[in-house]
Structure 1
Amino acid sequence: MSALLYNSRPAVRPGRAFNSLLNELLRDAQPTTPTPSTSFVPAADIFETAAGYELHLALPGVAKDAVTIDFQEGQLVVTGRRPAPATEGDNVPQLRRVETRFGEFRRAFRLPETVNVKSISAELTDGLLRVTLPFDTEKVTKQHIEVR
């Protein structure tokens, strides 16, 4: 025998949707400041392809000439600077809330020995720095030796 239950009371719903309430709580919990930061750490993604590795760094608002890429002691070091918006002058709006990070940045990545350091290339377009790290085809990293 099956039972059918009927609820005559309408569902109790809050005045605001849960998502908007949660967004409001999280927004207010984020640290904000009326002054720009002096440093930040850009987000990075690393992909491996058949030809090598590809490193993507999110650098919106950073000019090409403000980025330096060096190879030092087995590490790829990316440094640069994102200038803060001007806050002085007659026609410049006053900052009320700053969530974007500005200032200097530095990221270092240890490279495996399989990367051909002399063939590394980089391109900055649409706020994304793409660093191509090709494999060194001359180096032997694994080899099976037959016993005779």
Structure 2
Amino acid sequence: MATLMYNSLPALGPSRALDAMFNQLLGDTLPGTHRPAAGFVPAADVLETAAGYELQLTLPGVPKDALTIDVQQGTLTVSGERKAPATEGEDAPKVRRRESSYGTFSRQFRLPDNVNAQAIEAELTDGVLRLTLPYDTDKTTKRLIEVR
């Protein structure tokens, strides 16, 4: 006696994987918001080198003139604004999905006692703000004390 099997599932071939990818891509397309978020928090990395610390903040699309860097009472504050692209008007593009964050931001970092706040330097290149925080050589000088 022969047994017949019926498979109700479509063939699992390359076309099904491609169909699933397009369904996921197009199915996730939601109407975008017309107003961006009021602010965001840029990612920060802190590195330590032989000369001091380096603070790197990821700020894509933020121009130099939109940044303020301030040091007061041992606290470094980096603030600014990332403006959203224009989405209103006749020739403006229509937002379909928005994942980028826009608006004002402010990050504060407590400086270690061994940082020379007067010698801090900042450079904005390729959307990354690099702050060099050199050691204060007067505070980091090691000395050997002889026991008598």
| 8 Å CA contact 1:35, 1:98 repeated in 2 | no
- 1:33-66 CA deviation, whole Å, 9 max, x = no partner? 4431110000111111101111110000001000
Gaps of 5+ in 1: 1-12
Measure the CA separation in 1 of the matches of 2:89 and 2:34.
Answer: 16
| 8 Å CA contact 1:114, 1:141 repeated in 2 | no
1:132 aligned residue: 132
> Given the two structures, how large is their TM-score scaled by the length of structure 2?
0.76
Identity of aligned residues (%): 59
Gaps of 5+ in 2: 1-11
RMSD: 2.6
Indicate whether 1:108 and 2:76 are aligned.
no
1:87-102, aligned counterparts within 5 Å?
A: 87-102=87-102
Measure the CA separation in 2 of the matches of 1:108 and 1:141.
Answer: 27
How many residues are paired up? 130
- 1:2-37 CA deviation, whole Å, 9 max, x = no partner? xxxxxxxxxxx68539xx6xxx59x95xxx744311
| TM superposition outliers: structure 1 runs of 4+ over 2 Å | 13-17, 32-35, 140-147
